[in-house]
Amino acid sequence: MGVYAVTGAASGMGRAAADTLRAAGHTVLGVDLRDTDVAADLATPAGRRNAAEAIREAGADRLDGAVLAAGLGPVRGREREIVEVNYFAVTELLQAWRPALAAGGGGRAVVVSSNSATTTPLVPRRMVRALLAGDGAKAVRALRFHGPARAVMSYAGSKLAVSHWARREAVRPEWVGSGVRLNALAPGAVLTPLLEQQLADPSSARAVASFPVPAGGFGDPAQLADWIVFLLSDAADFMVGSVVFVDGGTDAYLRSEAW
Ligand code: NAI
């Protein structure tokens, strides 16, 4: 049985993935603000360092897998926090855990990105470039939007950057060359507390409810958890830097002419 680190383990898809892994007999070390094994605020560099260290100590320097699911939705006024959690808490924790993932010769990492990365038009490229360069303050300065669009762009930009980062890193020798598989999942609208919060907010409810989902309805976190567990399995051994859309057809619908 394996040892897995899961961020965002207290809610939604992270919690569903942790439950599925535990039910299969694995050891899960959860990280979240509260209600799990390691309490840490991943919006701050100190919180991320503490979380990385706590998992390293608890995981005895060897991890079979890591799931990076902690994230914030497009919440107005929290643009900086969005990029800190959705981008830096993924990239910094994975960099810290990479040696532990490589230690067993075949660790797996799954980044929970979003189809917002590809379905949101006009995401400032300067913002994405600033994130990839490690500059969160500059990334937020590049958001030349006001009102609800500002948080939407912060969210989509953080996800675009994290998908790009995952693809870029996945093929580097220190990842694939040491047997570690790094892939990303791009869910669409999945009914978790994050989406419920958007549906309850009058400034975003209509846009969320009218977003096209060809399959109809919202995704189920337990199904997304099954995809995460699949990406952690041996069956995904030939997947490197893949971004897997599980979104009821939204990305295909909105980008059907992009090829
Ligand atoms: P959720 O809100 O149910 O779970 C997110 C978890 O992240 C929560 O437990 C929360 O406490 C944790 N978190 C947030 N800020 C944190 C911080 N500063 N420090 C530590 N933990 C923190 O949301 P959900 O939907 O399960 O989201 C999981 C991931 O999936 C997120 O990255 C989200 O962006 C992504 N996603 C969600 C979609 C949806 O429709 N629900 C669609 C596409 C992507």
User: Could you give the ipTM of this predicted complex?
Assistant: 0.99
Q: What is the CATH number of the domain that holds 71?
A: 3.40.50.720
Confidence of residue 139 (pLDDT cuts 50, 70, 90): very high
Query: Are 68 and 113 a contacting pair, CB within 8 Å?
Result: no
Residue nearest to atom 24 of ligand 1 (CA): 12
Q: Which residues contact 151 (CB under 8 A, 6 or more apart)?
A: 74, 75, 76, 77, 78, 79, 82
Strands (E), the chain: 3-7, 27-32, 38-39, 65-68, 108-112, 181-187, 243-246
| CA torsion, ordered 24, 28, 31, 37, to nearest 10 deg | 120
The question of whether 4 is a catalytic residue gets the answer no
Question: Which among 80, 194, 201, 211 is the best mutation to test ligand 1's pocket, defined by most ligand atoms within 8 Å of the CB?
Answer: 194
Give the model confidence (pLDDT) of 185-195 as tens digits.
999 999 999 99
Write down the pLDDT at residue 229.
98
The backbone torsions φ and ψ at residue 93, rounded to the nearest 5 degrees and listed phi first, read -65, -40
Cα(193) to centroid(ligand 1), Å: 8
Ligand 1 midpoint to CA 69 (Å): 6
- Number of compact structural domains in the chain: 1
Q: Tell whether 126 is covered by a domain.
A: yes
Distance of CA 135 to the CA centre of its chain: 19
207 lies in some domain: yes
154, two tokens: 């912060």
- pLDDT digits over 147-184, tens only? 889 999 999 999 999 999 999 999 999 999 999 999 99
**Within-domain flag for 147:** yes
Residue 60's pLDDT band, with cuts at 50, 70 and 90, is confident
Which domain does 43 fall in, by range?
3-252
- Whether the model pTM is above 0.90: yes
Q: Is 44 part of a structural domain of the chain?
A: yes
Query: CB–CB of 98/172 below 8 Å?
Result: no
Would residue 54 count as lying in a domain?
yes
Q: How far apart are CA 134 and CA 116, in angstroms?
A: 21
